[in-house]
Amino acid sequence: MKGEPIVILLVEDDEAHAEIARRNFSASHLANRLIHVADGQAALDYLYHRNEFSNPETSPRPGIVLLDLRLPKVDGMDVLKLIKADPALGSIPVVILTTSKAEADMVKAYDNHANSYLVKPVDFAQFTELMETFGYYWLAWNQYPH
């Protein structure tokens, strides 16, 4: 998939964090399209092509989901469970991106088949570095089957 557009679904209710992700993906010139939704219900609507996301042409299937855990409307852990339980969506990599360092959250995320668990640093520069490293790993270096 290197060089091909990768749709990233960013599920993040903190607009400042979403903006950091947006800027880093843009600055790194990685081939991708970032779709940002601010709550768990909107993420499910996007994934299942409901409501404003009903057109698969304008709401393409993501190649990866960046998912916060603490979300309005539908909790991130519930979104993760639904994605991984659905045969049509289960193969999409889901990376948890959260402020929670709680061991119980990490265990629960991996028990529900999260592909990775990243803790957002409080420091702006460190968060920026995390997003840059994430971008290179998942979008440039990671290999996907054809």
Domains defined for the chain, CATH in brackets:
6-141 (3.40.50.2300)
The rounded mean pLDDT for the chain is: 86
Whether the pLDDT of residue 138 is over 80: the answer is no
pLDDT of res. 1: 43
Q: CA dist 63 to 50, 93, 106, 126, Å?
A: 18, 7, 22, 25
Distance CA 87, CA 98 (A): 25
pTM for this structure? 0.87
Angle formed by the axes of helices 124-134 and 15-27, nearest 10°: 50
The neighbour count for residue 70, using CB atoms within 10 Å, is: 14
Whether the pLDDT of residue 99 is over 90: the answer is no
Binned at pLDDT 50, 70 and 90, residue 40 comes out as very high
Q: CA dist 65 to 10, 14, 104, 123, 125, Å?
A: 6, 16, 21, 23, 23
Binned at pLDDT 50, 70 and 90, residue 84 comes out as very high
> What would the mean pLDDT of 73-95 be, rounded to a whole number?
96
> What would the mean pLDDT of 74-90 be, rounded to a whole number?
97
Whether the pLDDT of residue 60 is over 70: the answer is yes
Contact 46, 37 (CB under 8 A): yes
Whether the pLDDT of residue 34 is over 60: the answer is yes
pLDDT of res. 13: 94
Any idea which residue has 């092509």 for tokens? 49
Q: Which of 77, 92, 68 is nearest to 18 (CA)?
A: 68
Binned at pLDDT 50, 70 and 90, residue 140 comes out as low
Beta bridge partners of 95: 66, 116
Binned at pLDDT 50, 70 and 90, residue 24 comes out as confident
Sheet containing 64-67, strands listed edge to edge, beginning at the edge strand earlier in sequence: 32-37, 6-11, 64-67, 94-98, 116-119
